[in-house]
Each structure stands twice: as C-alpha cells, then as structure tokens.
Amino acid sequence: MPTLDLYYMPSPGASRAVIMTAKAVGVDLNKKVVDVMAREHLKPEFIKINPQHTIPTLVDNGFVLWESRAILIYLVEKYGKDDSLYPKDPQQKAVVNQRLFFDLGTLCQSYVCYYYPQLFDDVKKPADPEAFKKIDAAFGQLNTLL
C-alpha cells in the first residue's frame, strides 16, 4: 500500500475520521500537523496545495483532495478491499451518504456555530445557550439514527 500525505489537525473529528478510514483500508499516512491557531493553513506553500486552505487535505501521488467526507469516500473506493464501508447498492450507499451529510450539515454545523465564536473570532464571544440547544438537539437526532 502507498503512503499518502495527510495535512491535518489532531483534535477535530474530521481529521480523525480520515485517519480511522485510512487505517481501516490499510493505507499508511504521512501525517503533517497544520497549526491553524498559528495560521499555517494560510501560508503560501499550503495554499498552493489547497487554495481553500481547509483541513484535512490529502495528497495521493500528486492528486490533492480536501473536504473530509470526500476523502473518506475516495479512500474506501480506491483502497477498500470490498464494499463493506461504502456499499455499491444504491439504497445502502444512500444511507451512508445521508449519515455523512447529517454529520456535515447538522452535527458539525451546530458545533461550529456554538464553539467557533468563542475560539476563533477576533473578539471572543460568550457561549450562546441557544446555540448549545442546537448541539443538544443534533446529538439527540444522532442517537435516534444510531
């Protein structure tokens, strides 16, 4: 199996999902930490790789891909030994896609809306209890799906 470069942050779930998927399909990753707080994702050498400067970013023998869910699908379609992680059956695949998009559009979005103003805005904002209710509701929906 080849070794792919992964530009990532250790803590976010998106990066961890890529790492777990790569392990599941037997791909080795050359992990390169990108310190967003130090604005390394805005350095010209990173923007040359990924003009959207988002994390995680995967480089597979010159092929560059970002957006974690796209990376997950790419890894299992290219390197998976079977279709157990990403089914070929359209209905089964649709369920997997629905869960991926739920994570992106609902679960992750609620997290971003609550935590990012506290962490990343130039003028830090206090926690918004209404935004936290959306996180709680999203996890309730996830529990239902599980």
pTM of this prediction?
0.85
pLDDT score of 23: 96
pLDDT of residue 132: 94
Kindly give, in sequence order, each residue whose CB lies less than 8 Å from that of residue 105, ignoring residues fewer than 6 positions away: none
What's the confidence (pLDDT) of residue 49? 96
Residue 32 confidence (pLDDT): 97
User: Hey, what domains does the chain have and what are their CATH numbers?
Assistant: 3-79 (3.40.30.10), 90-145 (1.20.1050.10)
Q: Which residue has the tokens 């991926």?
A: 100
Strand blocks (E) in the chain: 3-8, 28-33, 57-60, 63-66
| Half-sphere exposure in the Cβ direction for 141 (13 Å, CA) | 15
Mean pLDDT in consecutive groups of 10 residues from the start of the chain, 146 residues? 90 90 96 92 96 96 95 96 94 93 88 85 83 93 90
Query: How many whole angstroms separate alpha carbon 40 and alpha carbon 97?
Result: 31
Residue whose entry in the numeric block shows the structure tokens 């830090």: 124
